[in-house]
Amino acid sequence: MAGELPSVEACLERYIPASDLADVKRILYGGEARKLNLPDAALSAAQERDFELLGYGFDAAPEQLRRPRIVRVGLVQNKIPLPTDTAVAVQVAALHKRIEEIVEVAAMCGVNIVCFQEAWTMPFAFCTREKLPWTEFAESAEDGPTTKFCQELAKKYNMVVISPILERDEIHGGTLWNAAVVISNSGAVLGKSRKNHIPRVGDFNEVRYSIVIVKLVLPCSSCFCQHALYQSSHHDLGHFYGSSYVAAPDGSRTPGLSRIYDGLLVVEMDLNLCRQVSDIWNFKMTGRYEMYAKKLTEAVQPYFTPNIIRE
């Protein structure tokens, strides 16, 4: 990893004067998140197990009639520990072992909800057009080996687990889904959420979807496009994403984890902030949900004709 930039935050703190750094973070992150004092035992364990451990907090305004609703969330990012040509079952077992090492440290930090990365039980193979062996990593969301593994973690550490996997839905013809399984701290499977799409990587040659409104694209996208390495990404994909962070409902965010190392980001948040922000923006005050529902229902019908009026 020599010569690689570990994180944008490390670079900012190294080269921007302290007198200006607070303003830079306010502009980039919407404010400066409070740093958490994590247990020494957790910090030592993270160092021994070779992953980054960071902690931040979001605060809400104190209220008179509601107590703070404090939750600690752990965000995990990890590399694959074995070469991609290793047997599928062996790769999955190695990832289970690595994740358990990190979750144990999350428990030391008082994490209530731990979130794993997208398709965490496999290499991110969606940069290829190949099917085998990548589709063999798909599992049942309800009773597959990874869900059973996460159920044991949830019960052992009294922790809710969000486990995004490649799901194989055998009931509906073996359909593949990009799914996130939600497991209660009791070990019960509460449900799952499915996405319709997994992005390609490398050249970002997305013919299906695009965002054409510049303000909706992350500010860092322009940096990727300007970087010289982008031109050779057909041949060298480089590091895939990384820099995981947590965003608050007011638009602020924590600093990110490393671009290139495994990591655990612990974030303490007061859920009261959700309603406080909603009250400020008042989106629901002018919402006409019945009207939206009617129009959307009409628009999805197979023979829908838009109401276009011409002279």
Please give the domain boundaries of the chain with CATH numbers for all domains: 8-298 (3.60.110.10)
Would you state the pLDDT for residue 144? 96
Helix (H) or strand (E) holding 3: none
Would you state the pLDDT for residue 228? 40
Q: Quick one: DSSP state of residue 173?
A: T
**Rounded Cα gap, residues 160 and 113, in angstroms:** 5
**Rounded Cα gap, residues 265 and 119, in angstroms:** 18
Q: Is the dihedral of CA 83, 87, 90, 92 positive or negative?
A: positive
Question: Which parts of the chain sit beneath pLDDT 70?
Answer: 1-3, 197-242
Would you state the pLDDT for residue 28? 85
Would you state the pLDDT for residue 201? 54
Question: Residues near 103 by Cβ (< 8 Å), separated by ≥ 6?
Answer: 74, 76, 114, 153, 157, 159
Would you state the pLDDT for residue 165? 95
pTM, two decimals, is 0.81
Tokens at 261, concatenated: 């190392």
